[in-house]
Structure 1
Amino acid sequence: MCGRFVQLTPPAAVAALFCIDGATGLPNVPPRYNAAPTQDLMVIRRHPDSGARHLDLMRWGLVPSFAPDMSGGAKLINARAETAPSKPTFRAAWKARRCIVPADFFYEWKAVEGRRQPFLIARADGRPMAFAGLWEGWRDPATGLWQRTFTILTCAADPALVPLHERMPVILGEEDIAAFLEAPDPRDLMRPFPGLVLRPVSARVNAVRNDDADLLAPLPPAEAEAALAQLSA
């Protein structure tokens, strides 16, 4: 699954990396070192008619268009890639509203001696990640205003991550991004991403209120060694 991640790359750099059409109108957003559900985060989507890619802010936690209110969005931060194409909550978005969620890192946890030890997960080559996602528009019946929300697709975890969790976000290679956004049915792209590395980080990550660069700092060697030893315990 994916419950927290990092959006550190500035919008202009994201636009360049993901071939966003036009450099104007980019969202003004600070770095997120501990991005959490219900926050407004950067998302890339493709216009269905022009094919142009746009970078927008959307609320994490998908709210289906038929939902009576937004209260259920916080529970729909992830969608299983195996069932999203057929599940009523995600079926329409899978067909017409797929998106890319840029991320520099994400976090996963391991229970260690009665506490939750967070691990920072990154691509081994240091490049930003492209999470596969779905987005929806929900219209507030009281105000008539539209709210755009998103969810991150998940798949079975790569073997390197199984000691932390059996699921992981679907991470697309650069060569697969266009196909995911444009293909009628890109289910063959819903697979584990190899070449990830992990390291233990401060338990300050556990509190959403903590959102600063220190969260990315390595633990002291002795603490890091002890945390890593628990992965094979």
Structure 2
Amino acid sequence: MCGRFALTATAEELIELFGLLEAEDFPARYNIAPTQPIIVVTASDRAKPGSNLPERKAMLVRWGFTPGWARDPRKFPLLINARSESAVGKAAFRAAMRHRRILVPASGFYEWHRPAKGTGEASQAYWVRPKRGGVVAFAGLMETWSSADGSEVDTAAVLTTGANRAVRHIHDRMPVVILPEDFARWLDCKTQEPREIADLMRPAPDDYFEAIAVSDRVNKVANTGPEIQEEVVPAKSPETAGRKRAEDRNGDDRQMSLF
């Protein structure tokens, strides 16, 4: 899943990567949490000057998807993620999958390894970022919810898929990453139906991300500075723990064979 992420790129970097005509300046954000405003990229109805491709624009939406048919968002579950494998079949996401696909710019995301109960191990937070740096584009869905008094709220969710090798030892899910060469296909909701972009909803290449252990300061939404991304040495990493258990089992087997 994706429950926290960061965006520390400049407006100029987003304009260049996403082909935006413009983007307002915004502060670096190191700990973006659900219900907060996030920047998303959408395709507009107008064509770019001198091109047949639609203009792309950046806008702020609330992270927490609310279907248009929901009567009261306060009583509706907070949908920050949508499973890519089943989103088109879900009533909440079906229309958005066909008509309102978006890109969510990020510098990376946070994930937690939560050991099974009874192991005595503490949860460990990880900062998962592109190995080569830069901005990554998560696949997202958008919906505008309208109240009875006519007010509107733009909302969004991040699509997830099965984790790749770099993330699998931490969590079994990760955000869907859309590569730059696929931006146009993903955002084209007029000619590209969900079945035609299904191939884009796959795990990122195994060498795309790296996972950095960080402290539990990221757990608190109030902590918003760059220090939450400082690397720490985990007390016991998932990989190390797994190797240690395997070594212990092998050792026990050898001892039993001797006696």
The TM-score normalised by the length of structure 1 is: 0.90
Structure 2: distance between partners of 1:167 and 1:30: 29
1:48-92 CA-partner distances (Å, limit 9, x unpaired): 454211100110010111111222566200001111112110011
* CA-based RMSD: 1.9
What residue is the counterpart of 1:38 in the other structure?
A: 35
Larger radius of gyration: 2
Give the distance between the partners of 1:111 and 1:64, measured in 2 at CA.
31
Q: Mean alpha-carbon deviation: is it higher for 109-118 or for 180-189?
A: 109-118
What is the CA-CA distance between 1:217 and the residue it aligns to?
A: 1.2
Matched-pair contact (CA < 8 Å) for 1:37–1:74: no
Query: Structure 2 stretches of 5 or more lacking a match?
Result: 48-53, 245-259
Q: Find the residue that maps to 2:227 and give its secondary structure.
A: helix
The residue that corresponds to 1:193 in the other structure is 204
In 1, Cα distance between equivalents of 2:220 and 2:175: 21
Kindly state the Cα deviation for residue 117 of structure 1 after the two structures are TM-superposed.
Answer: 1.1
- Which string of whole-angstrom CA distances, capped at 9 and with x for unpartnered residues, describes residues 196-224 of structure 1? 111101110011111111011112xxx24
Q: Tell me the matched-pair count.
A: 226
Contact 2:124 2:234 in 1 (8 A): no
- Give the partner amino acid of 2:10: P
- 1:60 is matched with 63
| Per-residue deviation, residues 151-190 of structure 1 (Å, max 9, x unmatched) | 0001111122111111110011111111111122311111
Deviation at 1:232, TM superposition (A): 5.2
For residues 114 and 225 of structure 1, the distance between their equivalents in structure 2, rounded to whole angstroms, comes to 9
Q: Could you say what secondary structure the match of 1:75 adopts?
A: coil
Give 2:183's aligned residue: 177
User: Are 1:154 and 2:160 an aligned pair?
Assistant: yes
Asked if 1:7 corresponds to 2:7, the answer is: yes
Q: Percent identity?
A: 36
Structure 1 gaps of 5+ residues are none
Larger displacement relative to structure 2 (90-99 or 118-127): 118-127
Between the aligned partners of 2:110 and 2:121, the Cα distance in structure 1 is: 18
Written as runs of structure 1 = structure 2, the 5 A alignment for 1:13-162 is 13-20=13-20, 22-23=21-22, 26-48=23-45, 50=47, 51-71=54-74, 75-111=78-114, 113-142=120-149, 144-162=150-168
